[in-house]
Amino acid sequence: MKAADLLDEVEKLRKDGATLKSAFDAVSRDTGVSVPALRVAYHRAHPRNPGAHGNATLSAEEDATLVALAQAFSMNNMPLSNMQVRQLVQRKWGKELSASWLRRWVKRHKGQLTRRACRALSDKRAGPRVMQSVETLCVELKELLEHHHFTAGGIMNYDETRVVNKGGCMVTQRVESAEKERANALSTRHSTVASLLSFVAADGSVFLSVYVMKAKFEEGQAADVNFKLHAAPRESRREWPRYYYWTETGFLDGDTFAQVVDLVATEWAVRNPSTNLLLFGDRLGAHMRPDTLEKALDRQVYLFFLPPNTSHFLQPLDASPFATFHNLVRRSNKQLVMDGKLVNIDTRDALLASAFTAERKAFLPHIVRESFVTTGLYPFNKDKVLARARDNLGLATAGETVMDQMRAAASEVIQASRERMVAAAGAVRTGQAAVQRGIVHSPAALLAQDKQRTADRLQKEKEVAERAIARVQRREEKTKKRSENAAARVGRFCRVCEKKEHRGGGGWVVCECALFRECPACKGSAIAVEALTRHRGGCDVSSASAPA
């Protein structure tokens, strides 16, 4: 008999009132199967719920509920902070949790949870329309990979991040003599140094990186800048080329990106000749210029753009690499700023030094490879890409397990809350008005004042646009008038010496057909007589004023 049939017999005897031991004995006598074998098969088919340790803070049910709740909020781009999780447990179950307990709890559920630096995203990044774009992406990417071959080193993701420190409001208190002059210690908090544009490959290597910095070029094409570079250690075999670029704003623009793509194509052709290159990027305007795409395709470089509002969960660099990079930058910068304050040395370059160090530690091969696998771009996994899209867009489907159903239910609740907030915001009329203290204002008067202000603003913008158009027209008229004056001036010069200009009056020998003019200073010269002889018109030459 099959194991399922034996267990059915045991269950039938249990329903008739027999104990588990007597049921095993009866089935063993009838079938010849030993009692230990029946006991093992029964317990394997009826696994008990895993119980928590007696000293555990949360029960098994509470632990599963907390995991599902954290996943549900993460799916809807509203991650819970450490303090929020601890407060939630305190309110719901009346249990105090420490920060160390929470770290161990996340580590215990590392297959379901993770910790990283993140922020809440705007509402425009969620919706069925984005999901449809992801489905189209899967179709196009699958077709591209079927018709073109790319190696693991030839599939790269490029993205830009700001090297900026805006967190960790560090406060330093000193005990010093009252007569001592205050030390001039500068911090880099709330300062931006550069934009880092990195190219990482699916095999875990970093192809190159570009630091985009800010410079004042004024009217010329060159600018004087002060730079500091950190030499890469020669003993390391993981070093990659680093380049530097200066713009007016310190941000990546279309011209910068075009030159960077050309540089990447040149470097790739030298290292891997006759091999295709696939670059994943977001839909920044500077990335999608037609001339840049055309030049890249001519050199076997394919730029593949991710759908709008999906880079936060589909772009490999936005996962662990950049999260690790910014975490290391913050910690290293804090240490360098503190060291500078202790020894009274200027710390304005500490952030750039932190970026150089963090870049090497953040883009390790296993971190980069894991990011490509997690996003599903390499190896390409359509199911994983669509699953990540559903989870991050709040479109989680109810699965078979209890945890899946809890996540789907929480997702629906949060989605309904978002819809109510949008509806409430649409019912509020906003505007601008000048109010006075201690005066009761009518809503009609406030709306009327806002309407008048809007009309005045639009009128001013219209006048500014009209003045700009008028200035352009005046410049064009002046340019046209100068051109006409220059052409007319050429006809007033002496045809002999080509230096004297006729400004009106008599004394010039002028041909009636206005094809020859001779000034008195050049009259009678051999050149003038020869020029008159060659004149086809044969008209008489008389002393008269030049025609207007």
CATH of the domain at 134: 3.30.420.10
Is residue 67 assigned to a domain? no
- 241 and 156 assigned to the same domain: yes
d(CA 44, CA 49) in angstroms, rounded, equals: 12
- 349 and 237 assigned to the same domain: yes
Find, among 197, 204, 210, the residue nearest to 281 by Cα.
Answer: 197
Query: In the beta sheet, which residues pair with residue 195?
Result: 162, 212
CB 186 within 8 A of CB 166: no
Dihedral sign, Cα of residue 255, residue 261, residue 267, residue 269: negative
- Across 56-65, 387-396, 411-420, 467-476, least confident range: 411-420
Interior CA angle at 387 toward 386 and 392, to 5°? Answer: 100
Query: In the beta sheet, which residues pair with residue 198?
Result: 159, 209
Domain finish residue from 364, 392, 420: 392
- 24 and 134 assigned to the same domain: no
- Across 132-136, 225-229, 440-444, least confident range: 225-229
d(CA 209, CA 194) in angstroms, rounded, equals: 12
- Across 11-20, 78-87, 168-177, least confident range: 168-177
Where residue 266 falls among pLDDT bands split at 50, 70, 90?
A: very high
- 463 and 504 assigned to the same domain: no
- 486 and 502 assigned to the same domain: no
| pLDDT tens for each residue of 472-483 | 999 999 999 988
d(CA 393, CA 414) in angstroms, rounded, equals: 11
| pLDDT tens for each residue of 499-544 | 677 666 666 666 655 555 666 666 544 444 555 555 545 554 444 4
- Across 207-211, 288-292, 465-469, 510-514, least confident range: 510-514
Where residue 355 falls among pLDDT bands split at 50, 70, 90?
A: confident
Reading the block at residue 489, the tokens are 């001036």
* Mean pLDDT computed over 7-20: 85
32 phi/psi in degrees, rounded to 5:
85, 0
d(CA 296, CA 18) in angstroms, rounded, equals: 78
Find, among 268, 314, 308, 313, the residue nearest to 288 by Cα.
Answer: 308
d(CA 179, CA 542) in angstroms, rounded, equals: 98
Is residue 297 assigned to a domain? yes
Find, among 151, 225, 165, 155, the residue nearest to 358 by Cα.
Answer: 165
Q: Which of 43-47, 302-306, 402-406 has the highest mean pLDDT?
A: 302-306
The number of folded domains in the chain is 4
CB 222 within 8 A of CB 252: no
Q: Is the pLDDT of residue 186 over 50?
A: no
- 326 and 203 assigned to the same domain: yes
d(CA 105, CA 99) in angstroms, rounded, equals: 10
Average pLDDT value over all residues in the chain: 79
d(CA 114, CA 107) in angstroms, rounded, equals: 8
Is residue 79 assigned to a domain? no
Is residue 506 assigned to a domain? yes
Is residue 283 assigned to a domain? yes
- 256 and 201 assigned to the same domain: yes
Secondary structure (3-state) at 164 = strand
- 475 and 384 assigned to the same domain: no
* Mean pLDDT computed over 270-297: 91
Find, among 518, 539, 536, 514, the residue nearest to 527 by Cα.
Answer: 518
What confidence score (pLDDT) does residue 514 get? 53
- 476 and 498 assigned to the same domain: no
| pLDDT tens for each residue of 377-395 | 999 999 999 988 887 776 6
Is residue 435 assigned to a domain? no
User: Which is more confidently placed, 5 or 171?
Assistant: 5
- 384 and 446 assigned to the same domain: no
- 451 and 367 assigned to the same domain: no
Cβ within 8 Å of residue 475, ≥6 positions away: none
CB 58 within 8 A of CB 69: no
Which helix (H) or strand (E) segment holds residue 165: the answer is strand 155-165
Overall size of the chain counted in residues? 548
Reading the block at residue 146, the tokens are 């079927």
- 476 and 548 assigned to the same domain: no
Interior CA angle at 473 toward 470 and 477, to 5°? Answer: 135
DSSP for 416-470? HHHHHHHHHHHT---------TT----HHHHHHHHHHHHHHHHHHHHHHHHHHHH
Is residue 76 assigned to a domain? no
Residue 81 DSSP one-character state: P
What confidence score (pLDDT) does residue 3 get? 76
- Single-letter code of the amino acid located at 343: V
Is residue 181 assigned to a domain? no
**Range of the structural domain that residue 41 is part of:** 3-45
- Across 91-100, 204-213, 231-240, 330-339, least confident range: 231-240
